[in-house]
Amino acid sequence: QQQVKQSPQSLIVQKGGISIINCAYENTAFDYFPWYQQFPGKGPALLIAIRPDVSEKKEGRFTISFNKSAKQFSLHIMDSQPGDSATYFCAATYGGATNKLIFGTGTLLAVQP
Amino acid sequence: EAQVTQNPRYLITVTGKKLTVTCSQNMNHEYMSWYRQDPGLGLRQIYYSMNVEVTDKGDVPEGYKVSRKEKRNFPLILESPSPNQTSLYFCASSPYRINNYGYTFGSGTRLTVV
């Protein structure tokens, strides 16, 4: 119940295309769903996050779509650029006393020029 | 600059030789946590701390120790490292309500135990 399942494991997209990464969860107590972006040699950095009371959140070329009934959420990267090439992690938490983030297994995105 | 600083960035050690990875944050965050990152497994929490002198186990605490004597520092201690602790380690911190801010991660420590 604590897992967050992420797919695909790797993704190759042409420049200008749309990158889509999917995540699914079981624990309905989760109330915060962030996405982290990690470049080689760096720590993960918060990219965008959503709460379950909204179905979509957009920040620039990055959009989270959230389906509460299906317990799924996804990251869409529009007009993908080579600079977007990184590992992306979805995560979930219910906050509480532990402040614990539960991460997906990561998606390695390569955007080809 | 607001940041989480880990040292060292790279470390090669031998089985059984005690080591400490340091972590310091300058954002006055209450929460700090250690994660390890392994291929295909994502990031898994080792230990976390809600405040000074308050620590608790995460999902994979075996073989690790932590302490939180000061708010800014949260060192990770491997008393007797073994090869299965070869991994990429991240320290992270957050304000009291992670739901609003998320974690800030350090740049990582790549540990190899031979």
Contact call for residues A98 and B49 (beta carbons, < 8 A): no
Which residue in B41, B43, B97 is closest to A95 by CB distance? B97
Which residue in A51, A89, A99 is closest to B94 by CB distance? A99
pLDDT at site B95: 84
Q: Looking at residues B42-69, what average pLDDT do you find? A: 94
Q: Looking at residues B45-68, what average pLDDT do you find? A: 94
pLDDT at site B100: 62
Cα B81 to chain center, whole Å? 15
Which residue in A41, A46, A105 is closest to B40 by CB distance? A105
Query: What phi and psi, each to the nearest 5 degrees, are found at residue B100?
Result: -95, -25
For B11-34, the pLDDT digits (tens) are 999 999 999 999 999 999 999 999
Contact call for residues B90 and B26 (beta carbons, < 8 A): no
Q: Please answer yes or no on whether A46 and B103 come within 8 Å at the CB atom.
A: yes
Q: Please answer yes or no on whether A51 and B31 come within 8 Å at the CB atom.
A: no
With a cut of 80, say whether residue B97 has pLDDT above it.
no
pLDDT by position in tens, chain A (length 113): 578 999 999 999 999 999 999 999 998 888 889 999 999 999 999 999 998 889 999 999 999 999 999 999 999 999 999 999 999 999 998 766 667 889 999 999 999 99
pLDDT at site A29: 87
- Identify the top-confidence range among A99-103, B63-67, B97-101: B63-67
With a cut of 70, say whether residue B56 has pLDDT above it.
yes
pLDDT at site B2: 85
For A34-46, the pLDDT digits (tens) are 999 999 999 999 9
